[in-house]
Each structure stands twice: as C-alpha cells, then as structure tokens.
Amino acid sequence: MKILVCIKQVPDMESHFRPNGSATWFDESDLAFRMNEYDEYAVEEAVKLKEQLGGEPEITVLSIGPDRVIEAIKKALAIGCDRAVHINESAVASKEPWQIASIIAAYARSIQFDLVFTGMQSQDRGSAQVGVLVAELLGIPSTTTLVGFAYADGVVTATRELEGGVKGKVRLKTPALVTCQLGLNSPRYPTLPNIMKARKKEITTFQAGDLSSEPPLTGSSSFRHPEKKGSGVVLEGSVDELVEKVIVILKDKTAVLR
C-alpha cells in the first residue's frame, strides 16, 4: 500500500505580518515557519495507519516550496513517514490552489497512491481547496473535514465534522483522498532517536515547473491589516496598572462588578 501525505510550511500565526512589495502576500523576511497545524493531523493519521497495518504501507511526505520547507519535511520523516518529495518552488507564495493542486497531481499520478492525506486547510491561505482539487485531478473519491478515520481492506470509513456538533459518517473505497480537521488524533512529537533515523531517509527533489505549468486562475492584491471596526481600547503597561484600569472599566461599563 502506498500513502501520500501533503504538508505545507506556514509562518507562525503569532508573527507580525507585513505586506510584500506588491502587496500580493506577506513579506517572508523575519518570519519563523512551521508545519501547517492541520497537516500535523494528516501526518499522524498516516503513521497510525502504517502501525495498524504492521508497518507494510510506505508513506511518502510531499511539500512544495523553497528549501525552507525541508525543515517541515524532516519533522514528518522523524514522526514516521518513510520517504520525502520536495517540490522546489521558490515563488510558492504566488501559486494559488489550482496550481499547487496541479503540481501535486502531476507527481501523484505517476505513483498511483492508494490513499492521500492532506490538511483540510492551510493556516495562512485557508482556502480549503488543494486537497479536493488534487482528488478531482486524479479522478479519485474524496471526503473532507475528518475527525474520525478507520481503514480496513481497501475501505475508508470517515467521520466528517459538520456544523453544530453533528457528524456525518461516510464510506469510500481506495484509491481515495481525505482532508484532516483539527482534533482528528493526538499528533506525537518526534523523539531524538527518530530524528536521527530520519536523517538517513531519502528526500527526492523535483522542480515544480517540470511537473506542471498551469497558469493561475486568480490574482491577489491589497494584502493588509483589516480596518479596525469596533470602538475597543487597547491597554498596555505594567500588570498592576492594567489590573486597576480593567477593574475601573468593568465597574463603569458592565453590570457584573459591584
């Protein structure tokens, strides 16, 4: 059995974001990058499945981006993926979901994976498109927003998270693609011995342009801080001053403190 996990490297969301020169996206300098949170669940689920099947499946982890994404790839290898594909694209920020999906599909088509795991969305772009688009391009069934996953004999039973705490159960036959939601499992931390072992695992590099050269279907502009709407106040200062101020405001503006 062959499993593919797609991971994206995204900036730490606690960063201060500034627009790049053309305001199409953020300026990357000074940002710390990490694995997209949703993809951590995808990696963990793939590794759990490998363990369930006695280690038989081979897991390939794939990431598109500049050299910095190798750090995220190494983490996935240390967690238990077997091999990696780094698709080099220095201008990954200007690639929109259709292009990213076309690149992934171009690679995946040649391997014929039985199962593909992606995150349900990336934290920076948040399009929730790439996973489903890959499945459509490969012509395989897919389902999204998994909070439960079970596999037996070529059949995936997925629990999807719907609104208001309701869930939906879906069954699909492999080859298939699923997108992972927060809370699907408890992602493990890589251990030191596994980090060492991961160093020996193979990372194959492709150039994105050699796989697909689809033109973009959308353009991006005016990347900015949202306009402040409310009349909220921002308080800064020493903790003691802040506590005093907050108590005065709560007494004045709410009926909860007497």
Partner 1 sequence: MKLLLVGEYREGRLLDTSAELFGFAAAIGGDASIFLVGSAEDVPAFSGALYLVDAGLYGEYNPEVHKQLLLKAVEEVNPDLIVFIHSSYGWDLAPRVAASLKVAQVSEVIGFADNAYEVGCCNAKMHRNVTPSTSKAVITIQAGAFPALQSEGTPLVKVLSTDVASTTEFLGYEPAEAKDVNLAKAEIVVSAGRGIGKKENIEVIRSLAKAFGGELGASRPVVDAGWIDHGHQVGSTGQTVAPKLYVACGISGSIQHLAGMKKSGFILAINKDKDAPIGEVADVLVVADVLQFVPALTAKLS
Ligand X SMILES: Nc1ncnc2c1ncn2[C@@H]1O[C@H](COP(=O)(O)O)[C@@H](O)[C@H]1O
Ligand Y SMILES: Cc1cc2nc3c(=O)[nH]c(=O)nc-3n(C[C@H](O)[C@H](O)[C@H](O)COP(=O)(O)OP(=O)(O)OC[C@H]3O[C@@H](n4cnc5c(N)ncnc54)[C@H](O)[C@@H]3O)c2cc1C
Binding site for ligand X (CB under 6 A): 6-8, 36, 38-39, 42, 62-65, 92, 97, 100, 118-119, 121-122, 125-131
Residue whose C-alpha is closest to residue 55's, from 32, 15, 82, 29: 82
Q: How far is the CB of 202 from partner 1 (least distance, A)?
A: 31
Cα-Cα-Cα-Cα dihedral sign, residues 137, 185, 121, 197: negative
- Token couple for 13: 């969301």
CA 98, CA 65: separation in Å to the nearest integer? 15
> How does DSSP classify residue 17?
P
Return the residue of 53, 150, 224, 251 that touches partner 1, per CB under 8 A.
Answer: 224
Site for partner 1 in 202-221 (CB under 8 A): 216-221
Answer yes or no whether residue 14 interacts with ligand Y by CB under 6 A: yes
Site for partner 1 in 151-190 (CB under 8 A): 157, 159-173, 182-183, 186
Return the residue of 127, 188, 194, 206 that touches partner 1, per CB under 8 A.
Answer: 127
> Are 165 and 21 within 8 A, CB to CB?
no
Of 53 and 235, nearer to ligand Y (C-beta) is: 235
- Token couple for 184: 């699907």
Is the bond into 175 cis (omega within 30 degrees of 0)?
yes
Q: How far is the CB of 147 from ligand Y (least distance, A)?
A: 10
Placement of tokens 């795991």 in the chain: 117
Q: How far is the CB of 182 from ligand Y (least distance, A)?
A: 6
Would you give the binding string for partner 1 spanning residues 5-44, x where CB under 8 A is met?
------x-xx-xx-----xxxx------------------
Q: How many CB atoms lie within 10 A of CB 65?
A: 25
